[in-house]
């Protein structure tokens, strides 16, 4: 993180203004229409959720401003890991530091956020990746905000499961699996109330995608209200 810098409620409006004026200047100079793409490594899983969370924490800021400014979002990590291309066929690890060292042959300095920005800039202009990254798919602001809402919902489901399944020795990856299956705590209780027999309860869970026998056995110990 950057230290001794202006707060987000000051920087973000300035950033949006910079986006707007830059886009207008380029469009005026070229006669073409453009839109802004915010790209970062692990943007969809980390960078953008952090940004949106920080915006939502401040009453002065609105995530809808990203829609107004027609901002798009891209994730170089997800794209490079999934795309089939000669430039990345020998890449084994897609962490930013690994990519930077592999393509630039220089050591990666990753102590500060600006180092990540500088590394991204070099990768975007590198002859082996420039063409590939220029065709990287992106999400609209509306699409990204919908994904963000879904991420928040999943986090809330996981938190509720963690809080209510204490003592059942359920691991993080098992909580993640339940959330992925949309088996939030009230739903599990409803299923358990309907299927009081352990075997029938486990059979129902298996049909709903809980394939781990150990997890199904742990869930039979759910304590319902009044018990």
CA distance 180 to 203: 19
pTM above 0.85, yes or no: no
At residue 4 the predicted structure's pLDDT band, cuts being 50, 70 and 90, is: low
pLDDT at 219: 97
Give residue-wise pLDDT tens across range 101-145: 999 999 998 767 888 999 999 999 999 999 999 999 999 999 999
pLDDT at 63: 96
End-to-end CA distance of the chain: 49
pLDDT at 156: 94
Give residue-wise pLDDT tens across range 37-88: 999 999 999 999 999 999 999 999 999 999 999 999 999 999 999 998 999 9
CB crowding 28-38: b at 16 or more within 10 Å, else e: eeeeeeeebeb
pLDDT at 6: 84
CA distance 50 to 60: 17
160 has pLDDT over 90: yes
pLDDT at 226: 52
Mean model confidence pLDDT for the chain: 93
Q: Using DSSP bridges, classify how beta strands 71-75 and 36-40 pair: parallel, antiparallel or unpaired.
A: parallel
pLDDT at 225: 59
pLDDT exceeding 90 applies to what percent of the chain? 89
At residue 5 the predicted structure's pLDDT band, cuts being 50, 70 and 90, is: confident
Q: What is the mean pLDDT of residues 158-185?
A: 95
pLDDT at 178: 96
pLDDT at 1: 45
Give residue-wise pLDDT tens across range 186-198: 999 999 999 999 9
Please name each of the domains of the chain with its CATH number: 8-140 (3.30.420.10), 165-219 (no CATH)
pLDDT at 193: 95
């Amino acid at each position: 993180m950057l230290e001794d810098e202006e707060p987000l409620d000051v920087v973000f409006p300035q950033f949006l203004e910079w986006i707007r004026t830059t886009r207008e200047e380029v469009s005026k100079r070229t006669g073409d229409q453009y839109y802004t793409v915010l790209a970062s490594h692990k943007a969809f899983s980390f960078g953008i959720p952090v940004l949106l969370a920080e915006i939502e924490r401040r009453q002065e800021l609105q995530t809808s401003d990203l829609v107004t400014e027609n901002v798009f979002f891209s994730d170089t990590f997800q794209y490079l890991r999934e795309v089939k291309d000669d430039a990345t066929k020998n890449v084994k690890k897609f962490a930013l530091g690994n990519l930077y060292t592999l393509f630039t042959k220089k050591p990666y300095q990753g102590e500060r956020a600006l180092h990540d920005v500088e590394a991204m800039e070099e990768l975007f202009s590198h002859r082996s990746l420039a063409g590939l990254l220029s065709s990287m798919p992106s999400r609209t602001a509306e699409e990204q905000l919908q994904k963000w809402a879904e991420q928040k919902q999943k986090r809330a489901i996981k938190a509720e499961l963690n809080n209510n399944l204490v003592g059942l020795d359920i691991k993080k990856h098992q909580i993640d699996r339940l959330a992925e299956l949309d088996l939030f705590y009230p739903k599990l209780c409803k299923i358990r109330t309907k299927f009081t027999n352990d075997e029938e309860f486990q059979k129902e869970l298996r049909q709903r995608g809980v394939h781990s026998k150990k997890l199904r056995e742990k869930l039979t110990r759910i304590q319902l209200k009044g018990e």
